[in-house]
Structure formats: structure tokens, C-alpha cells
Amino acid sequence: MPESKEPQRKTLDERNQMSDLERLRHSTAHVLATAICRLWPDAQFAAGPPVENGFYYDVDLEHRISPDDFEKIEAEMKKVVKENQTFERMIVGRDEAMEMAQKGRLAAEMERGTPSHFKIDLLNDIPEDEEISIFKNGEFWDLCAGPHVGRTGNCKAYKLMSVASAFYKGDAANPQLQRVYGTAFKNKTELGEHLERLEEAKQRDHRKLGKELDLFHIDEAVGQGLVLWKPNGAVIRQELQNFIGEHLDRQGYSQVFTPHIGKLDLYRTSGHFPYYADSQFPPIAEREAMKALSDEGCSCGELSNKLESGEVAGFMLKPMNCPHHIKIFQSNHHSYRDLPVRLAEFGTVYRWEQSGELGGMTRVRGFTQDDAHIFCTEEQVKDEIMGCLELVKIVLGTLGMDDYRVRVGLRDPDSTKYVGDSEKWDRAEQALREAASTLGTDFAEEPGEAAFYGPKIDFVVKDVIGREWQLGTVQVDYNLPERFGLEYVGADNSSHRPVMIHRAPFGSMERFVGVLIEHFAGKFPIWLSPEQVRILPISEKFVDDADVVYEKLREAGIRVTCDKADEKVGAKIRLAQLDRIPYMLIIGAKEQESNQVSIRHRDRGDEGSMPVDEFTNRIVEEVRSRSL
RNA sequence: GCCACUGUAGCUCAGGGGUAGAGCAAUUCACUCGUAAUGAAUAGGUCGUCGGUUCAAUUCCGACCAGUGGCUCCA
């Protein structure tokens, strides 16, 4: 989520490239600060940059700003705008600026008893050779590189959106500030349109639709971030799995099944335990060992130490499927003639995500990856990656998801978290780059986005509120084959180390379906619709006729129901529309007479009538072709 | 994990120191109906959990659990 990251210090050049809208938003942030300053003169301000769709300003303040305060703050902002103050840029010397800050004059309308301490800190961050500028609007002076619009009167279309918490400079070791978010546009019309879009977005939130359409449920008693797929959601998931399954066959994959747990030693070998213990569910200790330890009066802390050191044996809920697949690969001898070996599994994994991170289906603690591991020779890497990318493209194309970006995740040269030697990393990164360039889509190389074991290509989409989610992923791994000592016999009759590729076109079923719900706003294409056709008899008199049609559709493999409720057809249609049923079949006297069905589509409305068999053929074809 | 807010019927929400209310859904009855809501009746809740204050707590306070918005994190 790059837009949520603390902005890097921008160079003056970069700042001057700010778009008009960004300028306006940044200026509106100053108007906000001015207003807050007037209402709470002891407020201490940190940074107030423009962000996507708006701006924020970080403020340290005894008073807890709540949405109830927004009206008051906005009223004060309105006054500042009405005063139509000029934004005035003033270049000052470092000492002069420091003196102002010491007197509390920065990000304030007057000198105060306490220094503007965040501004002092920011001042110290400014490189020696850069000039220091103060922006003034009225009596509000702020340390700021700008740029700004001409006058506060230009900021006339804004709205405060929310107040949240943020660590100063994005560092959890720093104090937490109150971050007031606002949105701002050129004029009231554009602001109105933006607010309308947000309202629409709220309507397609997968958490709301998931409840309304009975797709999934997360229950307190089961646990945070553990998704219960209800029958309707399960249909969608199963259809997606079938869809992928067909392509697995086509691409030469072998499907496997593996258990949900594995011994701690397995993960010691893979390097995930105890290295990543914080992001896993706690280990499961063996009963005998637990009993012996408790007889000895061993504390929980000691137990966990002994689990970590290996003195006590235990199991772990699998945080990934790779070690299991590796063990399947290792259970046979392999010649170069066997490669690539492609093992696929819809494998459920468990990860201990921080509680504050969980939400809906997109960030959970137990999820099923449409996972596969490819074991191949170094020469095969590029082709295999291209095959994986092809699959991701088929998946996203079939679903009409073209609004994604491709990210090639490379290692961060300054970090030490990566495993394996750098020559292998270089080769892997190069292979990914080459494969990505055949994709026909723009991609961005992002240092620091690699997994600890290898570089990767991710497909990232945005949800309705603009948050980015990683879906499909293809990752090269030179590390696990090393750790597990994987081998194959080459043409030279000596043993070689295979390369591993991890890949998941959906990423996780949970996240993917969550994103899919929002993508379609609940109106799934017919092949994914939990209920494809609903028959609506006009009155009880036509229930028998409806039953005949129902049976025919069922036999053709269509997911169909019949609404026999004692209601007018208008009410039944309304209900079916709310349930986003693709096709409604209306059956009354006319249809009985002509032996036809009347068709209503959820978007296209009344489509006239035709014989049942003709309709059945049409639906079956629509499902088979997975048309959108 | 951190900060803030929220938790009342299956769902959406109102209320508030004296053990609760609406709409929709559900059930029953009447109506037998033509492309987004027929009418009436009935039933439904330990007011998230556990403690504290109080004659009295769903309401006030605290802790915990869960959700939401951010931050940090994300093999």
C-alpha cells in the first residue's frame, strides 16, 4: 500500500512537480492546521502532505479529535478560506527558522510557551545545502517547502473524512499522533462526485455483500480471521477451483493433498521456525512432553524455549505448503528427464497476522492458497515462469479484471533478511525481469518487495476503497532446494540442484473472492453465481408448471430455485434482484398457454419469452463459456 | 501489537440508572395477483463477556472479547 507509507523526503524538484490538485490539497491541509490551531492553540503539528484523493495533517493534541468535532473545525476552516489569505513563501536562515521553532512560532499563529518540537526535528532533517522556506497564510506560519496555491480562497471544496492514529515518521517507536484526513477538490461539483463514488464503493464492500448474499461468515466463537464459507460462497469457490483445475491439467500439473500440520523440525529445516515464530500460530507440543514438563513444574516460557531449541518435539500449523510438497518431490529419485515436476494443491495455511490487520476476507489468519511448486532445472526457469504468468493472465482475463498492476519484487540491497547468496539472487531476478517483459503489460521493479527466500512477480489489484491487495504471485526460490538438499540426476550422470518456483494465480481463495465480490458488486457472471436461475410463478396456480421447468433446468445442471412464496410477482422480482440472481423466469397463464417461459435478466430486464429448452441451451452455453 | 471509535431481535438501526422499541426478515391467516415491496395478526432480545459503583446497571466505571478507520507489520 504505497500511498499509506510515510512519504519519503521529497527533493525540491519533485515538490515543484506537484500537480495543481496536489498543491490545492496541500494548501487545504494548511487551512486545516490553521483552523485546529485557532480552536486548540496548544496543538503541535508534524507533517501535512497531500495524499490520494485528499490530504492529512498529523497533530499532537491533548484533546481527542472526534468526528463530532469536524463540524466545528470545518466551520473554522470556512472562515480561513473566507479571509482569503495569501500563501506567502519566505526564505529564512537555518538559525532564524530554529529560533521561530524554539518560540513555538511554527505551525502556529503566534509565539507560544512551548517550542514547535516536531518542526525542530523536521528542520534538523533538512539537508545543509537546501534552503529553508516558511509558508505564511495570515498569521499562520509553517515550516514548509510548498508549493501552494495563491490564496486560501482557492480551497473551497473540502471535507474532513476521518481521524486516525499514526506514528510520527511512521516509526512504531515514536509517539502516536492524531491524523486528520480530509478530501479536497477543485470545486464543489468534483467533491460531490467523489463523495458519491465513495458511497457507491461502500455499497459494494465485500463485508457488506458477503453478509447480504450469504457468502461467508466470521464468527467470534471460531476466531478472528477464520472464515466460514457458507453454501453460496462455497459454490463460488468451488467453481473457481474447477476453473483452475482445468488449466492445471492443461499445463501439466499433478494435484496432491497434504495435511494441515507438520513437525517443528520440518520448519527448522525450511527456516521458518523459529525465525518467523511471531507470525505463526504457537507450536503444538506433544502430550507426553507437555505432561513431563508440567510434572517438572516447567513454566510456559520454559516450554516455549524448549520447543524453540528442539529439546521438546512438537507440530506446527503449516504457514505454507512448500515443505510438504518438497517432501513429496524428495520421496522419489528424479532424473533431469522428469523435470519439471509441478505439484499443485489448494492448500490451507495459517498465519498469525496482527489483530489490527485483520479484516473481512482480504486479511485473514487461515486461508487456502491455489498453490503449486515447480521443481525444474536452471534452464527451465524462464519458460516455467512464463507459463505461470500465462495462467495468471487467463484467470484475470476470464474474470474481466484488467485493472491490476504488475510488481517485480526485488531484494532490498541494504537488508540482511534474505537467505541465499547474491549471485543466485541476481540470476533469479534477471529471469523474472525477462519473463515479465514478455507479459505485454507494464511492470514496476520494486526493491525490498522480495520474499526472504527469493524474488517474485505479484499481481496487485485495488479494492473499492483504494487499498491494494496482492493476488496472484510467482516466486523463484533458490533457497529451499538448498536447505532441503534437493537433487536430480543430470544428463552428465551427476547430481544437480533443482530450482523451485512457487506460484498462486489467485493468491488465496479468501482474498480473491473478497476482491471478486467487490469487482462484480455481487453480480457474479452466471458461471460463478450461487443461484443462476430463479423461477417465479405468478400465483399458486402455476406452481406445477414451474416445477416442470425447474426439473428440466436441474437436469441440465443449472443451479435453479423456485420462489413459491405467497407474494405478488413484483415482490418476488424485487427479492431476486436484491439477491443478484442473473435470470428470473416468470410463469403464469400466458406461459402455460404457449408452453414457454418469460425471461427477466437482472440488468437487461424483460427479455421476452421462449421455449424452456431453448432457454436451457442458452444458459448452459453461457455457463460453459464462462462468459462475463 | 498501538491509537481512536463502535457492540441493543436473524438484518438495518432508535433509545436510555427503575430489566427495552421500529422497519425488514420469520410464522399464521386472508388475497391468487404480470416485471423492484398486498394487508392483518403472532412470535422473537441475559442490550458483546466478566467484574465494580448503586437500593437498582442494558445505561455509569474498569478489564477482556469482537468489529470499524488508521499506523506498524505482511514468508
Q: Which nucleotide is nearest to A273 (CA to C1')?
A: B75
Measure A527 CA to B13 C1' (Å).
36
Overall average pLDDT of the A326-344 stretch = 96
3-state secondary structure of A557: coil
From the candidates A318, A502, A519, A580, give the one annotated as an active-site residue.
Answer: A502
Phi, psi of A420 (to 5 degrees): 105, 160
Per-residue pLDDT band for A240 (boundaries 50, 70, 90) equals: very high
Measure A283 CA to B21 C1' (Å).
49
Confidence at residue A297, expressed as pLDDT on a 0 to 100 scale? 73
Annotation marks residue A502 as catalytic:
yes
State whether ipTM is beyond 0.90: yes
Annotation marks residue A298 as catalytic:
no
- Asked whether strand B has any atom less than 7 Å from the CB of A168, the reply is no
Q: Which nucleotide is nearest to A607 (CA to C1')?
A: B35
From the candidates A44, A85, A280, A369, give the one annotated as an active-site residue.
Answer: A369
Annotation marks residue A373 as catalytic:
yes
- Asked whether strand B has any atom less than 7 Å from the CB of A159, the reply is no
Q: Which nucleotide is nearest to A543 (CA to C1')?
A: B32
- Asked whether strand B has any atom less than 7 Å from the CB of A64, the reply is yes
Confidence at residue A8, expressed as pLDDT on a 0 to 100 scale? 45
Measure A218 CA to B58 C1' (Å).
25
Other CB atoms within 10 A of residue A302 CB: 14
Average pLDDT, chain A: 88
- Asked whether strand B has any atom less than 7 Å from the CB of A160, the reply is no
Tens-digit pLDDT profile for residues A84-99: 888 888 888 888 888 8
Overall average pLDDT of the A397-406 stretch = 88
Q: Which nucleotide is nearest to A456 (CA to C1')?
A: B75
Measure A111 CA to B44 C1' (Å).
63
From the candidates A272, A351, A503, A534, give the one annotated as an active-site residue.
Answer: A351
C-alpha cell at A450: 522480495
- Asked whether strand B has any atom less than 7 Å from the CB of A279, the reply is yes
- Helical packing angle, A231-250 and A509-520, nearest 10°: 110
Annotation marks residue A458 as catalytic:
no
Whether residue A273 contacts residue A282, with contact meaning beta carbons closer than 8 Å, is answered with no
- Asked whether strand B has any atom less than 7 Å from the CB of A590, the reply is yes
Confidence at residue A1, expressed as pLDDT on a 0 to 100 scale? 24
C-alpha cell at A58: 498529523
Tens-digit pLDDT profile for residues A572-607: 999 999 999 999 999 999 999 999 999 999 999 999
pLDDT at A126 over 90: no
Q: Buried b / exposed e across A225-243, counting CB within 10 Å, b at 16+? A: bebebbebbebbbebbbeb
3-state secondary structure of A108: strand
Measure A380 CA to B57 C1' (Å).
71
| Among the ranges given (A189-198, A416-425, A545-554), the one the predictor scored with the smallest mean pLDDT | A416-425
Contacts of A16 (CB under 8 A, 6+ apart): A147
Distance CA A552, CA A465 (A): 43
Distance CA A447, CA A428 (A): 14
Per-residue pLDDT band for A2 (boundaries 50, 70, 90) equals: very low
> What totals of helices (H) and strands (E) does chain A contain, helices first?
20, 28
Whether residue A395 contacts residue A506, with contact meaning beta carbons closer than 8 Å, is answered with yes
Note the pTM of the prediction, 2 decimals: 0.90
pLDDT at A4 over 60: no
Tens-digit pLDDT profile for residues A499-549: 999 999 999 999 999 999 999 999 999 999 999 999 999 999 999 999 999
Confidence at residue A465, expressed as pLDDT on a 0 to 100 scale? 62
Pairing of strands A216-218, A227-229: antiparallel
- Asked whether strand B has any atom less than 7 Å from the CB of A179, the reply is yes
Tens-digit pLDDT profile for residues A402-429: 888 899 988 887 777 777 778 878 888 8
- Asked whether strand B has any atom less than 7 Å from the CB of A573, the reply is yes
pLDDT at A41 over 70: yes
Per-residue pLDDT band for A399 (boundaries 50, 70, 90) equals: very high
Q: Which nucleotide is nearest to A178 (CA to C1')?
A: B3
- Asked whether strand B has any atom less than 7 Å from the CB of A352, the reply is yes
Per-residue pLDDT band for A7 (boundaries 50, 70, 90) equals: very low
pLDDT at A386 over 60: yes
Residue with CA nearest C1' of nucleotide B66? A220
Annotation marks residue A260 as catalytic:
no
Confidence at residue A14, expressed as pLDDT on a 0 to 100 scale? 59
Distance CA A403, CA A4 (A): 20
Nearest to A346 by CA among A504, A527, A217, A236: A504
- Asked whether strand B has any atom less than 7 Å from the CB of A357, the reply is yes
Q: Which nucleotide is nearest to A267 (CA to C1')?
A: B75
From the candidates A144, A155, A322, A388, give the one annotated as an active-site residue.
Answer: A322
Q: Which nucleotide is nearest to A600 (CA to C1')?
A: B35
* A491 compared with A104, residue with greater pLDDT: A491
Strand stretches in A492-566, DSSP E: 495-496, 499-504, 533-537, 560-562
Tens-digit pLDDT profile for residues A212-239: 999 999 998 899 999 999 999 999 999 9
Residue A395 vs residues A26, A88, A217, A512, A620: alpha-carbon distances, Å: 40, 53, 26, 11, 21
pLDDT at A121 over 90: no
Confidence at residue A3, expressed as pLDDT on a 0 to 100 scale? 28
Distance CA A123, CA A3 (A): 24
Cis-peptide, bond into residue A340, ω within 30° of zero: yes
Confidence at residue A613, expressed as pLDDT on a 0 to 100 scale? 96
From the candidates A179, A318, A334, A373, give the one annotated as an active-site residue.
Answer: A373
Whether residue A410 contacts residue A463, with contact meaning beta carbons closer than 8 Å, is answered with no
- Asked whether strand B has any atom less than 7 Å from the CB of A4, the reply is yes
Measure A335 CA to B49 C1' (Å).
60
Whether residue A163 contacts residue A46, with contact meaning beta carbons closer than 8 Å, is answered with no
- Asked whether strand B has any atom less than 7 Å from the CB of A240, the reply is no
Residue with CA nearest C1' of nucleotide B72? A172
Contacts of A90 (CB under 8 A, 6+ apart): A133, A134, A135, A136
- Asked whether strand B has any atom less than 7 Å from the CB of A415, the reply is no
Among all chains, which residue has been given the C-alpha cell 437487461? A604
Distance CA A65, CA A507 (A): 39
- Asked whether strand B has any atom less than 7 Å from the CB of A618, the reply is no
Distance CA A212, CA A199 (A): 17
